[in-house]
Copies of this chain bind each other. A is one copy, B any other.
Amino acid sequence: MTDELLHFIRFPSVSAGDKHGDSLRACAEWLAAHLRQLGLHRAQLSETDGAPIVYAEWLGAADRPTALLYGHYDVQPADPLSEWTTPPFQPEIRNGAIYGRGACDDKGQCFAHLKAIEAFLKTSGDLPVNIRVVIEGEEETGSEHLERWIATHREALATDVIVISDDAMPRPDQPAITYSMRGSVGCEISIRNAQGDLHSGHYGGVLHNPIQALCDVLCQLRARDGRIAVHGIYDDAPEPVPEERAYMARVGLADREILRNARAEAMAGEAGFSAYERATIRPALNITGIKGGYQGNGMKGIVPAQASAKIDLRLAPSQNARRAARLLNNRLRELAPEGLDVALRMLKISPPVRIDRRHPAMRAAARAFRRGFGHAPVFIRSGGTIPAARMFATILNATPLLMGFGLPDDSLHGPNEHFSLRQFLRGIATSIALWEELGRGVAPAPGLRKAAAS
């Protein structure tokens, strides 16, 4: 099983940029063939305007519920390559973990479920639930073509729950089920003054410098108290009620644990909230990249022609993503320096997700974790964004079960990403239990169904 997973990780299936189309398709084709080998039916690539979606199903459990397993075979870009101990697409096992881009996010976690399905189909020959498998190739770039695909195949995808393992549990012995995820808005701002770079001896102090202009804009997106300085952005992000804060304080990571997991030095952010709260139920504005002017070693005497930055705005579970995107766009327009060319490009808009902790399917997932990990899970909130969870929940009216098998220090999206073999094996055991627990029924209690997805 580990060898198969290493093979899966070797595909450099990076979805950002436009250099990896062939790798994405090769990875998808290998995966479809693998699903066929497991004993799943109708394993196939389903085309979109972007990367193909891998689909398979097993619908032999008449009168039982249906679960849709969602995962993604695409991965984050691997740069900066120099910070990896071993190459990102030549995975290696050390210290009991698989190191490689996508080891945890999401190839390893998704693979645990596939191996659980295989365990049933290659022993008893059937499964305790009906299962649909949907593994897409554009999660890391915002699942651009997934929503339309789900809508198009709405009838054929009918399901009761959506099983997603694409996140982390707080500690190795503390499994967790996620009951909310933040939304996110991604955009890019570019500022240009001249046609080309100019001599800074001749023009330094004369021309408006686009890097300085960009820094001015970015600084004005943040208030002194660490809040986001975008008018109206907090209107649909009310403070949580005291009971919820107390529950979060009990089950969530402490500030010092979060800082240690990040191996970082300094915190920042909205005053008056714990790091766990800031990361999960509060909006946050974050610059993910900036560039402009000379990038090489030493000095180049120029007034740069142009500068640009990428902005990632994470949204509280209660927030409206389109509204937030509009407010951010308005604020950037308002801050745009006069006389310079300013271009704004919206790259991503993903609404948040909320799930009722009391839903019977959530209880079934909790029992599965208890069997697979030997510990009862806590219910946590996540700061991440899985656009697919919201899309499936909304269009198919099904309940997402967000059961991360990763760990907080797995370096998701960073260099030296890894996935613990122990988590992999316990994930498989949990998945086996999950299919059994779900097979016993997941009908929501009266009045809960409507609240399940928002």
Q: A residues bordering B, Cβ < 8 Å?
A: 16-18, 76-77, 79-80, 83, 140-142, 168, 181-182, 184, 186, 193-209, 211-212, 214-216, 218-219, 222, 258-259, 262-270, 275, 278-279, 282-305, 307, 309-310, 312, 314, 337-341, 347-348, 382-385, 408, 411-416
A-B pairs, top 8 by smallest CB distance, nearest first, are: A205-B284, A201-B384, A266-B339, A289-B293, A194-B264, A289-B294, A208-B268, A204-B286
Q: Are B77 and A300 in contact (CB under 8 A)?
A: yes
21 A-B interface contacts by CB (under 8 A): A17-B296, A140-B300, A196-B415, A196-B416, A197-B413, A200-B314, A201-B314, A202-B382, A203-B264, A205-B383, A207-B266, A209-B287, A215-B218, A216-B219, A286-B303, A287-B304, A288-B302, A289-B292, A290-B293, A291-B291, A302-B414
Q: Are A310 and B289 in contact (CB under 8 A)?
A: no
Q: Are A289 and B295 in contact (CB under 8 A)?
A: yes
Given the complex, which residues of B lie within 8 Å of A218, measured CB to CB? Answer: 211-212, 215
Question: In the complex, A445→B269 CA distance in Å?
Answer: 67
CB-CB under 8 A for A413 and B199, given A300-B289, A307-B290: yes
Given the complex, which residues of B lie within 8 Å of A413, measured CB to CB? Answer: 197-200, 300-302
Residue of B nearest to A194 (CB): B264
Q: How far is the CB of A77 from chain B (nearest CB, A)?
A: 6
Question: In the complex, A83→B195 CA distance in Å?
Answer: 9
Question: In the complex, A438→B73 CA distance in Å?
Answer: 75
Q: A291: which of B200, B219, B295, B341 is its contact (CB, 8 Å)?
A: B295
Q: A299: which of B16, B382, B416 is its contact (CB, 8 Å)?
A: B16
Q: How far is the CB of A251 from chain B (nearest CB, A)?
A: 16
Q: Are B194 and A265 in contact (CB under 8 A)?
A: yes
Given the complex, which residues of B lie within 8 Å of A263, measured CB to CB? Answer: 194-196
Given the complex, which residues of B lie within 8 Å of A181, measured CB to CB? Answer: 201
Question: In the complex, A186→B208 CA distance in Å?
Answer: 19
Residue of B nearest to A338 (CB): B266
Q: Are A208 and B267 in contact (CB under 8 A)?
A: yes
Q: Are A193 and B312 in contact (CB under 8 A)?
A: no
Specify which of A76, A200, A294 lies most central, judged by the most chain B CB atoms within 10 Å of its CB: A200
Question: In the complex, A105→B77 CA distance in Å?
Answer: 39
Question: In the complex, A385→B293 CA distance in Å?
Answer: 19
Given the complex, which residues of B lie within 8 Å of A297, measured CB to CB? Answer: 16-18
Q: How many copies does the complex hold?
A: 2
Residue of B nearest to A269 (CB): B205
Q: A340: which of B77, B266, B285, B299 is its contact (CB, 8 Å)?
A: B266
Q: A205: which of B76, B141, B200, B282 is its contact (CB, 8 Å)?
A: B282
Question: In the complex, A207→B275 CA distance in Å?
Answer: 9
Q: How far is the CB of A51 from chain B (nearest CB, A)?
A: 13
CB-CB under 8 A for A209 and B384, given A200-B314, A296-B16, A296-B79: no
Q: Are B206 and A287 in contact (CB under 8 A)?
A: no
Q: How far is the CB of A274 from chain B (nearest CB, A)?
A: 9
Known A-B contacts: A193-B265, A194-B265, A203-B383. Give 9 more (CB < 8 A). Answer: A196-B263, A204-B284, A205-B279, A206-B269, A206-B275, A208-B265, A215-B215, A290-B290, A293-B310
Q: How far is the CB of A290 from chain B (nearest CB, A)?
A: 5
Question: In the complex, A415→B292 CA distance in Å?
Answer: 15
Q: Are B290 and A301 in contact (CB under 8 A)?
A: no
Given the complex, which residues of B lie within 8 Å of A300, measured CB to CB? Answer: 16, 76-77, 140, 288-289, 310, 413
Given the complex, which residues of B lie within 8 Å of A186, measured CB to CB? Answer: 299, 301
Q: Are B301 and A312 in contact (CB under 8 A)?
A: yes
Question: In the complex, A140→B382 CA distance in Å?
Answer: 50
Question: In the complex, A208→B215 CA distance in Å?
Answer: 16
Q: Are B340 and A196 in contact (CB under 8 A)?
A: no
Question: In the complex, A301→B310 CA distance in Å?
Answer: 10
Q: Are A385 and B201 in contact (CB under 8 A)?
A: yes
Q: Are A288 and B279 in contact (CB under 8 A)?
A: no
Q: Are A198 and B291 in contact (CB under 8 A)?
A: no
Q: How far is the CB of A236 from chain B (nearest CB, A)?
A: 16
Given the complex, which residues of B lie within 8 Å of A16, measured CB to CB? Answer: 296-300
Q: Are A202 and B267 in contact (CB under 8 A)?
A: no
Q: How far is the CB of A19 from chain B (nearest CB, A)?
A: 9
Given the complex, which residues of B lie within 8 Å of A293, measured CB to CB? Answer: 287-290, 310
Q: Are A299 and B347 in contact (CB under 8 A)?
A: yes
